[in-house]
């Protein structure tokens, strides 16, 4: 049974009344009755891992914050959701912002932070409204502010709205942005746990990770561990999009396969076959129909040569040109490269030019080798992982669809009809 | 022209949210856009003055982020998602159709100042592809015709309501104020979730 999405179909699920009717803020009372270290230990024991892409154990991250250091500590929630294909945190916050706030209060209590921030992307006005209202209502109800729950714990929670920069989803770029600078990644170490926001110990967590905490506190470690696989515990949101009959959010235990999710969603759109898909956004190497039975947990996807990422399952059928797809993603990385590191800043421009030529049928077979060589000189040579993500669609598409790249040259252009892949293809024809 | 006392007071309240004043630069830029429709020279100056920064430091930040504009946006700012999935599902066709229909290109505004256009990257609504944003509100599952109709209605001053958003589409300046963290009291309007968001939940309940 769904946990995160359980009450999204209620008309007032996003209000404090709706949330409390569903048992909201009870986990907070329970957590405040525990020692902060015991809360950290419980989250550690649950095996909850980061849902923002990297899969780092959430409780361990909390445990890295030095205690008794007489410094301010900060909690920052990454709600900058911008990875192509990723669309779980925004609907979650639209339908239930309070679960994030409750999770943030618990997390702040555990790491002994008195200031917490939600860094949300700026292109989602109505989600901003919902989160802002939820914060105001939580203050009014006494869940935020001074002496929360009569336990002497103070917490200020601020919503910070971004302004259109994918790179600010990278945690150190996010911190620079939150400090009022251009959002550019920092060299690590030091990690945010030691020197994060304002150079103080800081935990940066994804929305879904923090939103999972209240249910874990409420129901316990064993309940959480009963879901998922050996090293990937619990439930999560899988976001299915593209050429499928019924796209949407599918909450399931970690380890479900795409075949199973597709069955729930009614399969690939009528009369078409699966060609390629991403397991966790465009930065995770693409898969094909041969990967339908890969368990979608951290280990399963890694073993098959990609990454679980954000569990953004973008489905493309046989009408889609893979070169066009790779080119468009590469244009995205070029646009979003922050410009700090030369291999990424310059390299993504070269990648776009080469891919454009290939898509136009002006590329040669030697260009494919050159393209891979270029990828080699871009990945792993920058401060952050944006460049690694940029080469993922290129390398993986060449691995599975090399001949399609060459067909463009033979054909003197793209052999695909772009109309055939649209949602309204049937209407037009 | 000077900012009003009330506007200056709001700026101070934005700065007061943060432990360190410089952190207020982004909401202040959103707020300037709410007043002037873009990051105006006077906006840069007041932010620099309030935060004790050089104007060059404020400009350096504002030019980094794509939502901060160096020229006024239209009353209705239309963003067509052209990232891969939306593009393939019809975003490219929508973008072409709107350009042709309005006679403007990326980053341009119609002569009447009503509609501006932008190619946007993934907006976290892929299960509603192809997606169009107007003043950063969701318009889900669009087609070339639906967006032509949308911009026509907007120019006539009567845009349809967002798919998942308030009951009435607000102007670009009004929504910029929301992004500055100033409530417009509309959070209770609109659905809690769209159909695609509820897909898995409904199946789990046997409702389909």
Q: Do B85 and A249 touch (CB under 8 A)?
A: no
Is A126–B164 a contact, with Cβ atoms under 8 angstroms apart?
yes
User: Which residues on chain A are in Cβ contact (under 8 Å) with B58?
Assistant: none
3-class SS of residue A428? helix
In a domain, A274, yes or no: yes
Q: For residue A348, is it within any domain?
A: yes
Last residue of a domain, one of A197, A225, A253: A225
Residue B48 domain-assigned (yes or no):
yes
* Interatomic CA distance for residues B193 and A91, integer angstroms: 7
- Let me know if residue B169 belongs to a domain: yes
Q: CB of A48 within 8 A of CB of A57? A: yes
Query: Cα distance from B49 to chain A (closest Cα, Å)?
Result: 15
Contact B128, B163 (CB under 8 A): yes
The maximal CA–CA distance of chain B, rounded, in angstroms, is 61
The reply to whether B164 and B107 lie within a common domain is yes
- Assess whether the previous peptide bond of B46 is cis (omega < 30° from 0): no
Residue A45 has pLDDT above 70, yes or no: yes
User: Is A190 part of any domain?
Assistant: yes
Q: Range of A135's domain?
A: 16-225
> Quick check: helix, strand or coil at residue A53?
coil
Task: Please state, as a whole number, how many other Cβ atoms lie within 10 Å of the Cβ of residue A21.
Answer: 13
Optimal mutation site among B15, B64, B176, interface A, most CBs of chain A within 10 A = B64
A285 shares a domain with A146:
no
- Tell me which chain B residue has its CA closest to the CA of residue A277: B85
Question: Looking at the partner chain, which of B122, B175, B193 has a beta carbon nearest the beta carbon of A125?
Answer: B175
What residues pair up with A277 in beta bridges, in sequence order? A287, A315
Which residues on chain A are in Cβ contact (under 8 Å) with B67?
122-123, 162-164
Helix (H, G, I), strand (E, B) or coil at A423: coil
Task: Write out pLDDT tens, residues A177-222.
Answer: 999 999 999 999 999 999 999 999 999 999 999 999 999 999 999 9
Least CA distance to B143: which residue of chain A?
A424
My answer on whether B83 and B46 are in the same domain is no
Chain A: closest CA distance from residue B150 (Å): 17
Residue keyed to tokens 């080798």: A369
CATH number of the domain where residue A375 is located: 1.20.1440.230
**Half-sphere exposure at residue A82, Cβ-oriented, CA atoms within 13 angstroms:** 27
Give SS3 for A235: strand
> A2 contacts in B (CB within 8 Å)?
200-201, 204
Cβ neighbours of B89 in A, within 8 Å: 242-243, 421-423
Residues B102 and B162 in one domain: yes
The SS3 of residue A203 is strand
- Both A33 and A178 in one domain: the answer is yes
- Tell the residue number behind the tokens 């493309």, with chain if given: A316
- Is A2 within the bounds of a domain? no
Residues B175 and B135 grouped into a single domain: yes
DSSP per residue over B182-200, as a string? Answer: ---S-TTSS-SS-TTTTHH
Residue B197 within a domain: no
Please check whether residues A344 and A362 belong to one and the same domain: yes
Residue of B nearest to A319 (CA): B88
What would the 3-class secondary structure string for A80-91 be? Answer: CCCCCCCCCHHH
User: What's the CA gap between A366 and A63, in Å, rounded?
Assistant: 50
Q: Is residue A3 part of a domain?
A: no
A134 with A26, same domain: the answer is yes
Q: Is the peptide bond before B130 cis (omega within 30 degrees of 0)?
A: yes
Indicate the length of chain A as a whole number: 429
Angle formed at CA A213 by CA A209 and CA A218, multiple of 5 degrees? 160
Give CA–CA dist A17/A236, Å, rounded. 25
**How many domains is chain B partitioned into structurally?**
2
Distance of CA A97 to the CA centre of its chain: 17
* Strand (E) or helix (H) holding A158: strand A153-161
Cα A146 to Cα A142: distance, rounded to the nearest angstrom: 8
Tell me how many degrees the CA angle A276-A278-A281 measures, rounded to the nearest 5.
Answer: 150
Question: Is residue B189 one of the residues assigned to a domain?
Answer: no
* Co-location of B99 and B10 in the same domain: no
C-alpha B173/C-alpha A102 separation (Å) is 32
CB contact under 8 A, B136 and A419: no
Residue A242 phi, psi dihedral angles, 5° rounding: 100, -145
In chain A, the residue whose alpha carbon lies closest to the alpha carbon of B61 is: A182
A116 contacts A76 by C-beta, under 8 angstroms: yes
Instruction: With CB atoms and an 8 Å threshold, state whether B133 touches A123.
Output: yes
Residues B31 and B123 in one domain: no
A260 plus A358 within the same structural domain = no
Which helix (H) or strand (E) segment holds residue B76: the answer is: strand B76-81
On whether residue B163 sits in a domain, the answer given is yes
Note whether B104 and B151 are same-domain residues: yes
Alpha-carbon distance of A321 to A22, in angstroms, equals: 46
Q: Rounded distance, CA A164 to CA A336, Å? A: 9
Task: Classify residue A273 by its DSSP letter.
Answer: -
Does the pLDDT at position A427 exceed 90?
Answer: no
pLDDT value, residue A372: 97
Say yes or no: A291 and A373 in one domain.
no
- Residue A185 belongs to a domain with what CATH number? 3.40.50.11540
Q: Which of B29, B67, B187 sits opposite A123 (nearest CB)?
A: B67
- The total of other beta-carbon atoms located within 10 Å of residue A304's CB is 17
Name chain A contacts of B129, Cβ cutoff 8 Å. Answer: 241-242, 247, 423
Residue in chain A lying closest to B174 (CA)? A125
Question: End-to-end alpha-carbon separation of chain B, Å?
Answer: 58
Distance CA A305, CA A310 (A): 16
Closest CA to A192 of A59, A54, A74: A74
Same-domain pairing of A64 and A211: yes
* Contacts A265 to B, Cβ<8 Å: 199
Residues in chain B: 208
Interval A133-160 mean pLDDT: 97
Report the residue from B29, B65, B88 with minimal CB separation from A320: B88
Residue B140: CATH number of its domain: 3.40.30.10
Q: Per DSSP, which regions of A94-150 are E strands?
A: 115-120, 145-148
| Dihedrals phi, psi of A325, to nearest 5 degrees | -60, -45
Contacts of A116 in chain B (CB under 8 A): none
On whether both A60 and A98 belong to a single domain, the answer is yes
Q: Which of A259, A291, A317 is the last residue of a domain?
A: A317
Termini Cα distance of chain A: 41
Q: Which of B65, B124, B126 sits opposite A314 (nearest CB)?
A: B126
Choose the closest CB to A164 out of B18, B66, B130.
Answer: B66
Contact A329 B83 (CB under 8 A): yes
How confident is the model at residue B1, as a pLDDT? 77
The reply to whether B123 falls in a domain is: yes
What's the helix, strand, coil split of chain B in %, to 5?
A: 45, 10, 45
- Residue of B44, B120, B122, B180 to mutate, interface with A, max A Cβ within 10 Å: B122
> For the whole model, what pTM was predicted?
0.97
CA distance A281 to A25: 32
Domain-located, residue A8: no
Q: Are residues A267 and A282 in the same domain?
A: yes
The shortest C-alpha distance from B202 to chain A (Å) reads: 8
The CATH number of whichever domain residue B47 belongs to comes to: 1.10.10
Tell whether B55 and B109 lie within a shared domain: no
Provide, rounded to the nearest whole percent, the portion of chain B with pLDDT above 70: 100
* Tens digits of residue pLDDT in B16-63: 999 999 999 999 999 999 999 999 999 999 999 999 999 999 999 999
Chain B interface mutation, best of A75, A123, A425, highest count of B Cβ atoms under 10 Å: A123
CB contact under 8 A, A252 and B200: yes
CB contact under 8 A, A124 and B124: yes
- Please tell me whether residues B167 and B117 are part of one structural domain: yes
Residues 6+ apart with CB under 8 A from B98: B78, B80, B117, B144, B147, B148, B151
**Over 50: is that where the pLDDT of A153 sits?**
yes
- Do the chains contact at A125 and B93, CB–CB below 8 Å? no
Residues B163 and A65: their CA atoms lie apart, in Å, by: 42
Nearest Cβ partner of B67 from A86, A122, A338?
A122
Considering CB atoms only, which of A160, A166, A325 is closest to B88? A325
* Stretch A296-320: mean pLDDT: 98
Which residues are registered as beta bridge partners of A161?
A120
In chain B, which residues have their Cβ closer than 8 Å to the Cβ of A338? 64
Residue A426 included in any domain: no
Which of A11, A13, A332 lies at the smallest CB-CB distance from B121? A332
Which H helix or E strand runs over A131?
Answer: helix A125-140
Nearest CA in chain B to A340: B64
Residue where one domain finishes, among candidates A205, A225, A245 = A225
Same domain, B93 and B43: no
Q: How far is B189 from chain A (nearest CA, A)?
A: 9
- What per-residue string of b and e applies to B113-146 under the rule 16 or more CB within 10 Å gives b? ebbbbbbbbbbbbbbbbbbbbbbbbbbbbbbbeb
In a domain, A127, yes or no: yes
Count structural domains, chain A.
3
Q: Give dist(CA A94, CA A124) in Å, integer.
A: 10
B135 chain-A contacts, CB cut-off 8 A: 125
Give me the pLDDT at residue B208, please. Answer: 63
Does residue A428 register a pLDDT over 60? no
Residue B55 lies in a domain: yes
CA distance B5 to chain A (A): 24
pLDDT of residue A425: 81
Burial class (CB in 10 A: 0-12, 13-18, 19+), A41: middle
Question: Would you give the distance in Å from CA A410 to the centre of its chain?
Answer: 39
A364 to A278, A374, A395: CA distances (angstroms): 27, 15, 17
DSSP state of A120: E
What token pair was written down for A408?
């463009």
pLDDT tens, position by position, for chain B (208 residues)? 799 999 999 999 999 999 999 999 999 999 999 999 999 999 999 999 999 999 999 999 999 999 999 999 999 999 999 999 999 999 999 999 999 999 999 999 999 999 999 999 999 999 999 999 999 999 999 999 999 999 999 999 999 999 999 999 999 999 999 999 999 999 999 999 999 999 999 999 998 6
Q: Are residues A240 and A280 in the same domain?
A: yes
| Separation between Cα atoms, residue B208 and residue A284, nearest integer Å | 30
Cis amide bond preceding A189, omega within 30: yes
Are A298 and A347 within one domain?
no
Q: Decide if A332 and B199 are in contact by the 8 Å CB cutoff.
A: no
Q: Are A219 and A284 found together in one domain?
A: no
In a domain, residue B204? The reply is no
Contact criterion met (CB below 8 Å) for B135 and A125: yes
Other C-beta atoms closer than 10 Å to the C-beta of B21 total 17
Question: What are A217-274's pLDDT values in tens digits?
Answer: 999 999 999 999 999 999 999 999 999 999 999 999 999 999 999 999 999 999 999 9
Domain span holding position B25: 5-62
A262, closest residue in chain B (CA to CA)? B200
């Amino acid at each position: 049974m769904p946990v995160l999405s359980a009450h999204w179909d209620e008309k007032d699920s996003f209000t404090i009344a709706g949330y409390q009717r569903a048992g909201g803020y009870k986990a907070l009372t329970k957590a405040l009755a525990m020692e902060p270290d015991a809360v950290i230990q419980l989250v550690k024991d649950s095996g909850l891992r980061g849902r923002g892409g990297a899969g780092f154990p959430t409780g361990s991250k909390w445990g890295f914050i030095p205690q008794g250091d007489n410094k301010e500590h900060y909690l920052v929630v990454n709600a900058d959701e911008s990875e192509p294909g990723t669309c779980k945190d925004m609907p979650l916050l639209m339908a239930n912002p309070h679960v994030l706030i409750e999770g943030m209060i618990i997390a702040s209590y555990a790491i002994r932070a008195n200031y917490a921030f939600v860094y949300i992307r700026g292109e989602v006005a109505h989600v901003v409204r919902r989160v802002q209202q939820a914060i105001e209502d939580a203050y009014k109800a006494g869940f935020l502010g001074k002496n929360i729950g009569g336990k002497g714990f103070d917490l200020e929670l601020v919503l910070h709205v971004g302004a259109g920069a994918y790179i600010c989803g990278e945690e150190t770029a996010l911190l620079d942005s939150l400090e009022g600078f251009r959002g550019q990644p920092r060299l690590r170490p030091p990690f945010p746990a030691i020197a994060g926001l304002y150079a103080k110990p800081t935990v940066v967590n994804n929305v879904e990770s923090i939103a999972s905490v209240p249910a874990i506190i409420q129901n316990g470690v064993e309940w959480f561990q009963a879901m998922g696989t050996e090293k990937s515990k619990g439930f999560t949101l899988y976001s299915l999009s593209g050429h499928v009959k019924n796209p949407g959010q599918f909450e399931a235990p970690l380890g479900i396969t795409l075949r199973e999710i597709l069955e729930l969603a009614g399969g690939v759109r009528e009369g078409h076959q699966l060609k390629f898909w991403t397991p966790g956004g465009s930065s995770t190497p693409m898969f094909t129909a041969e990967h339908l039975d890969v368990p979608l947990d951290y280990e399963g996807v890694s073993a098959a040569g990609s990454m679980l990422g954000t569990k953004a399952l973008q489905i493309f059928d046989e009408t889609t040109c893979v070169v066009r797809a790779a080119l468009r993603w590469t244009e995205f990385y070029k646009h979003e490269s922050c410009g700090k590191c030369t291999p990424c800043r310059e390299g993504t421009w070269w990648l776009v030019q080469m891919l454009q030529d290939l898509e136009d049928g002006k590329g040669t077979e030697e260009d494919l080798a050159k393209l891979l060589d270029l990828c080699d000189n871009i990945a792993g040579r920058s401060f952050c992982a944006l460049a690694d993500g940029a080469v993922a669609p290129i390398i993986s598409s060449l691995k599975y669809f090399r001949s399609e790249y060459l067909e463009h040259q033979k054909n003197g252009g793209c052999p695909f009809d772009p109309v055939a892949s649209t949602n309204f293809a049937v209407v037009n024809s | 022209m000077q900012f009003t006392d009330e506007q200056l007071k709001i700026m101070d309240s934005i700065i007061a949210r943060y432990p360190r004043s410089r952190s207020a630069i982004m909401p202040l830029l959103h707020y300037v856009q709410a007043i002037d429709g873009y990051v105006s020279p006077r906006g840069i100056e007041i932010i620099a003055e309030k935060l004790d920064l050089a104007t060059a430091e404020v400009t350096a930040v504002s030019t980094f982020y794509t939502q901060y504009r160096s020229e006024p946006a239209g009353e209705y700012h239309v963003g067509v998602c052209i990232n891969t999935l939306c593009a393939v599902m019809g975003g490219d066709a929508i973008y072409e159709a709107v350009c042709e229909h309005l006679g403007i290109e990326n980053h341009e505004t119609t002569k009447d100042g009503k509609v501006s256009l932008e190619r946007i990257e993934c907006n976290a609504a892929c299960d509603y592809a192809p997606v169009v944003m107007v003043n950063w509100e969701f318009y889900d599952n669009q087609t070339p015709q639906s967006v032509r109709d949308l911009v026509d209605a907007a120019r006539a001053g009567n845009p349809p309501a967002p798919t998942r958003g308030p009951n009435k589409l607000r102007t670009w300046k009004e929504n910029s104020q929301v992004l500055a963290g100033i409530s417009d009291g509309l959070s209770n309007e609109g659905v809690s979730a769209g159909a695609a968001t509820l897909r898995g939940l409904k199946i789990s309940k046997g409702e389909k």
